[in-house]
Amino acid sequence: MIAADLLVAQNVGFGIISLLMIIGAVRVVTVSNVVHAALWLVIVLSGAAAQYLLLSAEFVAITQVLVYVGAVMVLFLFGTMLTRARIGAESDLNNKNWFLGIPVALLMLGVMSYVIVDGFGSERLIDNSGDMQPIPVQLISDDIFGPYLLPFWALSFVLLVAVIGAIVLARKD
Amino acid sequence: MLAQEMTSEVVASSGWFLEHAWLIPVIPAIAFVLIIFFGKKMPMKGSELGVLSMLSSLVFSGGAAWQWIQRVNSVVDGAHEAVVEGAHHAAPYVQPVIHEWTWWQSGGFHFGIGQHIDGLALTLLVVVAFISSLVQIYSLEYLRGDRRYTHFFAALTLFSAGMLCMVLAPNMVQLILGWEIMGLCSFMLIGHWWEEEANSRAALKAFFTVRVGDMGLLIGTAILFFSANNWTQKNLGVSGFNISGLSAWAMSGEASHSALTWGAVALFIACIGKSGQFPLHTWLPDAMAGPTPVSSLLHSSTMVVAGVFLVARLYPIFWEGMKIGDTNINFIVLIGGITIVIAALLAFVQHDIKKVLAYSTVSQLGYMMMGLGAGAWLPAVFHIFTHAFFKACLFLSAGSVSHSGSHHSFDMKKDMGGLAKKMPITATTWIISTLALAGVFPLAGFFSKDEIIDNVGHNGYNAFMIVGLTGAFLTAAYMTRATYLTFFGEARGAAAGIHHDEHDEHAVVDTHTSHDTHVAVDPHDVHTDHGPHESPKLITVPLMILAALALTAGLSNATPFGESWERFKKYVEPGSEYVMVGSEMAPEHGAEVVEISAVSMSVTSEEEVAEEGCAVVAPEAGMVCYFPTISHAPFKWSKAALSLIIVAFGLVSSWLFCVQYYTRRNKRLVGLTERNKVLRGGYTFLWNKCYLDELYEKVIVHSIAHPIAKAAYWANQNILDGIVNGAGKVSRRVAGWVYRNIDQRVVDGAVNGSGAAARGTGGALRPVQSGKVNQYGALLFSAAAIGALILVIINT
Amino acid sequence: MLTTQFLLLGAVLFCIGVYGVLARKNAVMVLMSIELILNSVNINLLAFSVRHGSVDGNTFALYVIAIAAAEVGVGLAMVLLIYRNRRTIALDDLSEMKG
C-alpha cells in the first residue's frame, strides 16, 4: 500500500477510533463492575457514531448518539440500580463456564476474518478524491417511506408491542 | 415440420362476474369480521351472516362459471372458423381472466393479490361455495345450542374465505396466504370442543403434521421464484411468483431441470401434508374429533383437496419436474398408489363410522394424486368435483345418524345397526353416496374414478392401474361393511334405544359435551330420548341435495356417451396451444379482442399427431405454453365392464360376509382373526394403523436419541473424565442440544402423546440438559461458525 | 480507506460481543454484549451502503437502532421482573428450561 494513495487523515482517525472501540468493547465484557461496563460501552457506542461519520452517514450517527448514548445507556444504568443496590466491584459477574466463550469467539473471528480478507482484499471503499458528500436525510426518508415502508410498519408495530410488553412486565400489581 | 402461423382475431367474451371474481372470497371475509364483532348480538347469533355470505359467494361463482362457459364457447367457435385447414392442431387456449394488484412491496419486490380465473379455479370455487352453503345450513340444526355457536360460524366462514382466496390466487403468495388461513381454521374447528383433551390433542396433531409439510410449500415457492424470476420478468413481465408465469417457464424448455425437480418435490411434500397422503396421513383420521359439519366440509370435500389442487394448478411444473409424460413411475404416482391401498385397508378395521369415512377420503385423495401423477389431469380434477358431493353427503349422513339415531355416538359396532327403517331419508342418501363412491355405473364416482384408472393405464402406468382396480374393490367392500353395520342387521346400543352414559374411548366425543345445553335449548329435540328417529328438515334437505348431485354429477363429463357429454374436458381443461407472448395483456374488461394465434402444424410425412404440441416440442421464441398436451384414453366398454365387475364383486362379497359375520354369527368366520395366525397378524397390523404412529414416536425418536445418549455416555466415561471437566460438559451439551431438537421437531411436530416415549428414551439424557442459556448460546454460535467454516472449505 | 478495515472492525466487535453473551452471568451485562453485536452489524450495513452507493444500508441501520431500543426496553423490564421474583439476575440460576 502506498501512503499517498490513502486518505491519511481519515485513516489515522479510523485507526485511533477503532483502537478505542476495541479496548472499550474488551473492557465491557471483562470488567467486574456493572457501572464501569456501562461507561465503557458509552465509549464503544460513541466510537461507532464516529465511524458512521467517516462513512458519511450523518443522520445515522446523530441517531446513534441520541438513542444509544442518550436513551439506552440511561436505561442500562437504571436497570443496574434497580436490580443491584450495591454499586461496585462484584466477584461473580462471569458464569462458571466462561472460558467456553473464548474458543467460540476466536473460531468465529477466524472464519469471518478469512472470509472478509478473501472476499474484499484491498478493495477501495472510498476513492482518493476523498470528497464524500454526507447522505441527505431526504434520500433516507424517501427510502423509508417508499420501497421500505412495509418494514417500517412492522417496526412500528414491534415498538408498540415492546412498549406495552415493557409496561406489563415491569408493572407492580 | 412446417409451422404455419395463422393469426386471427377472436373475440373472447367476458363479463361482470368473471371480471369481479375476486369478490367471491371477499364476501365471506367481511362476513367473518362482522360475525366476530356483532355475531352474538344478532337474532340468530351470527349464523345468518355466515349462510348469507356463502349463498352470495355461490351466486357469484355460479355467474362466473356461466360467463366462463360463454367465453370458452366464443373462443372455441372462433378458433374453428379461423383454422381452415383441417389439420390436427392443439386445443385452443382460452385466456384465463387474470387481474393482479400490488398488495405490498418491500425493496424491489412486489407481491400481488388478485384473481386467476380459469376452468380449474371455477370448478373449485363452485364446489367450495356450494358445499360451504349446505354445510352451514346443516350446522344451523346440528350445532343448535352449542356454547361456541357464533365462533363456529365465524371459523367456518373464515375457512371458506381462505379456501376461495387460495383457489383464485394468481400467484404463490396469495396461495400460501389462503393455504395457511385454511390450516388455522382447521386447527380451530377440530379443537372446537377443546375441553375434551382428545380433541385439543387431535387439533395440535393436525396442525403440526400439516406444518411439517408446509415447510415444503415455502421452500418450493422460494426455489421456483429464484429460478424463474428472471425468465418471467423478461418474457412475460410478471414476477416469479405468478402462477401462469411459472407454468410458462416450466414449459419453455429453458428452465433448469434440477430447479424444477426440487421445486416440484418440495411442493409435493406440502401436498402430502395437506391432502393426507401416505406418510403424513395420520392426522386426518384424528381430525374427526371435530364436529361432523367440519369433517364434512374441511376434512373430506374441500380443504384436503387443496394439495391436489396445488398439483393441478401448477401442473406444468410437476409435469416437467417429475417427467410425468416420459416415465412409468414417479414420486407422485407412487405416493398416490400407496395411499390408496393402505388407507382402504385401514378403513376395514375401524369401529368409528367417521374414521371409516376419513380413511376413505385419504384413499380417494390417493386416487386423485395417482391420476395427476400419471398424466390423468382431467379425470383427477373431475374426481375432486364428484368426490366433494358424495363424500360430503356421507359425512353429513353420518352426522345425521349420530344426531338423531345413535344418541351422539359414532361407534358402528356398539350404537348402530338397523337404522334404515328408522331413518329412511338418511339411509337412502347414504346408500346413494356409497354406491357413487364405489363407482357403480350411472352414479358420479363411476365417471371420475373409472376414468382415472383407465387413463393411468393408457399413459403407461400399468402397475398403478392394477393398484387402482384393487382400490376400487376395497372401496366397495369397506363401504358395504360400514353400510351394513350402520343401517342393517339388528339394532344395538343407542340405536336400539339403550342409553349408556359411558362412551367407550374409540367413540369420537362429538356433540357429547354440548349435549346438555342442546336438549335444553331445542324443544324439537326433546324426543331424542325416545330413541332413533329421522332428523329434522334442516339436516335432511342438504342431504337430499347432495345425494341428488351424487346421482347426477358424473353426467357432466360422461365419457361413455360421446364427446358432446364431455363438458369438463371442454370447459375445464386448459388448451395446450402455443400462445403468443403479450396476448394475455389485454387490459380492458368487458368484451376484449384477444390475438389468438393458432399454430397449426401441417403434418409432413408420418401422421404423428401426438408428437406435437406443448410439452413435446418446446415453444418457439415469442410463444409460450401454459399446459402440456395430454392424451386421453378412449373409452371402452370392455374396460369399464372389468372395473364394474370388480366393484360388484366387492359389494356382494362384502355384503355376504357381513351378513354371515355380524348377523348370523357364522362360527367359521367369527373369531377367525384369533385362530388364524396370518389373519391375526394382518388385523393387528391394521388395528395399530400400520404402526406409523409408533414409527414416529418410538422408532425415529428412539433410533436417533438413544445412540446419541449412549455415545455421550460412553464418551463421558472413557475420554472426558480424563480431560477437563468443562470440556466433558460441552460434549454432553451437544447431545442435549441434539436431543432437544429431536424433541422439538419429531416429538412435538410429528406426533402427539410422545412425551412418554421421550421420557423413556431420554431418561439417561436427563441430567444433561442444564437449562442454562449460556451453554445453549455457545452451541448456537459455535455451530454457526462451524457451518460457515464448512461452507468456506467447500467453496475454496 | 479499504472495505476490509470496516468489515474487520465489525467482525472484531461482533466476536467480543459473542464472548460477552457467552461468558457473562449478569443479565444486564448480557444485554450490553448484545448491543455490541448490533453495533457491529450496523458498521457493516453502513460500509456496504457506501460500497454500493445506495441509501438502503442507512435505512436498515436506523431500523436496527430502533429494534435495539425496543429490545433493551423489553429486556430490562424482564430483568426487573426476574429480580423482583427471585432477588437475583444471575442467568446461571435461571434454569427453568432444564429437562
Tens-digit pLDDT profile for residues B739-758: 566 545 554 454 444 455 55
| A39 and A15 together in one domain | yes
The pLDDT of residue B310: 92
Domain that holds residue A162: 136-173
Could you say which of C9, C33, C79 has the minimum Cβ distance to residue A79? C79
Which of B:80-109 have CB within 8 Å of C?
107
B166 versus B563: the higher-pLDDT residue is: B166
Residue A16 sits in a domain whose CATH number is 1.20.120.1200
Report the C-alpha gap between A148 and C63 in whole angstroms. 10
CB-CB neighbours of B9 under 10 Å: 10
Question: What average pLDDT is seen over chain B?
Answer: 76
Name A4's Cβ contacts closer than 8 Å, sequence gap at least 6. Answer: none
| A41 and A106 together in one domain | yes
CB contact under 8 A, C95 and B740: no
The complex's ipTM? 0.87
Could you say which of A97, A111, A148 has the minimum Cβ distance to residue B785? A111
Contacts with A151 from chain C: Cβ below 8 Å: 63
Region B386-403: what's the mean pLDDT? 88
Q: Is residue A95 part of a domain?
A: no
Question: What average pLDDT is seen over chain A?
Answer: 83
Share of chain B above pLDDT 70, in %: 72
Q: Which of B196, B58, B35, B93 is nearest to B581 (CA)?
A: B93
Contacts with C84 from chain A: Cβ below 8 Å: 172
Whole-model pTM: value is 0.73
| A127 and A140 together in one domain | no
Q: Is residue A94 part of a domain?
A: no
Contacts with B775 from chain A: Cβ below 8 Å: 97, 100
Whether the Cβ atoms of residue C45 and residue C64 lie closer than 8 Å to each other: yes
| A106 and A32 together in one domain | yes
Q: Is residue A31 part of a domain?
A: yes
Q: Which of B237, B239, B267, B235 is nearest to B251 (CA)?
A: B235
CB contact under 8 A, A150 and B772: no
Closest residue in A to C19 (Cα) is A101
Cell readout for B538 is: 334442516
Region C73-89: what's the mean pLDDT? 81
Q: How many domains does chain A have?
A: 2
Query: Do β-strands B97-106 and B109-117 pair in parallel, antiparallel, or remain unpaired?
Result: antiparallel
| A68 and A150 together in one domain | no
Contacts with C23 from chain B: Cβ below 8 Å: 774
Q: Which of B75, B9, B42 is nearest to B571 (CA)?
A: B75
Taking the alpha carbons at both ends of chain B, their separation in whole angstroms is 49
| A108 and A141 together in one domain | no
Lowest-confidence range among A48-62, B382-396, B588-602, B697-711? B588-602
CB contact under 8 A, A147 and B785: no
Could you say which of B769, B771, B777 has the minimum Cβ distance to residue C22? B777
Q: Is residue A96 part of a domain?
A: no
Lowest-confidence range among B265-279, B472-486, B716-730, B771-785? B716-730
Q: Which of B741, B720, B717 is nearest to B729 (CA)?
A: B720
Cell readout for A117 is: 480478507
| A105 and A159 together in one domain | no
A135 vs C: CB within 8 A = yes
Asked if residue B709 has pLDDT above 70, the reply is no
Q: Is residue A110 part of a domain?
A: yes
Closest residue in C to B743 (Cα) is C99
Minimal CA separation from C83 to chain A, in Å: 6
Q: Is residue A37 part of a domain?
A: yes
| A126 and A161 together in one domain | no
Closest residue in B to A143 (Cα) is B107
CB-CB neighbours of B516 under 10 Å: 11
The pLDDT of residue B1: 36
Could you say which of B105, B774, B785 has the minimum Cβ distance to residue A147? B105
Could you say which of A34, A143, A148 has the minimum Cβ distance to residue C28? A34
The pLDDT of residue B524: 43
Q: What single string gives the DSSP state of each residue in B491-509?
A: --GGGGT---S---TTS--
Tens-digit pLDDT profile for residues B1-56: 334 444 444 456 677 888 888 888 999 999 999 988 887 887 778 788 888 999 99
The torsion region of residue B221 among left (phi > 0), alpha (psi -120 to 50) and beta comes to: alpha
Tens-digit pLDDT profile for residues B493-519: 766 666 544 444 444 444 444 444 443
Q: Is residue A108 part of a domain?
A: yes
Tens-digit pLDDT profile for residues A7-47: 677 888 899 999 999 999 999 988 888 888 889 999 999 99
| A84 and A151 together in one domain | no
Report the C-alpha gap between B717 and B713 in whole angstroms. 6
Tens-digit pLDDT profile for residues A110-132: 999 998 988 888 787 766 555 66
Amino acid at B70: Q
The interaxial angle of helices B149-167 and B306-313, nearest 10 deg, is: 10
Whether the Cβ atoms of residue B542 and residue B137 lie closer than 8 Å to each other: yes
Which of C:4-33 have CB within 8 Å of A?
4-9, 11-26, 28-29, 31-33
CB-CB neighbours of C39 under 10 Å: 30
B253 vs C: CB within 8 A = no
Report the C-alpha gap between B647 and B624 in whole angstroms. 43
The pLDDT of residue B507: 41
| A115 and A149 together in one domain | no
| A170 and A109 together in one domain | no
Cβ contacts below 8 Å, chain B against chain C, sum to 38
Cβ contacts below 8 Å, chain A against chain B, sum to 49
Minimal CA separation from A93 to chain C, in Å: 5
Q: Where are the domains of chain C?
A: 3-90
Chains with at least 3 CB pairs less than 8 angstroms from chain A:
B, C
Q: Where are the alpha helices (DSSP H) in B143-196?
A: 149-167, 172-190
Tens-digit pLDDT profile for residues B611-648: 456 666 667 666 777 888 777 777 777 778 888 888 88
Whether the Cβ atoms of residue C71 and residue C7 lie closer than 8 Å to each other: no
| A110 and A159 together in one domain | no
Q: Could you tell me the fold of the domain covering C3-90?
A: Helix Hairpins (1.10.287)
Give A49's pLDDT tier (boundaries 50, 70, 90): very high
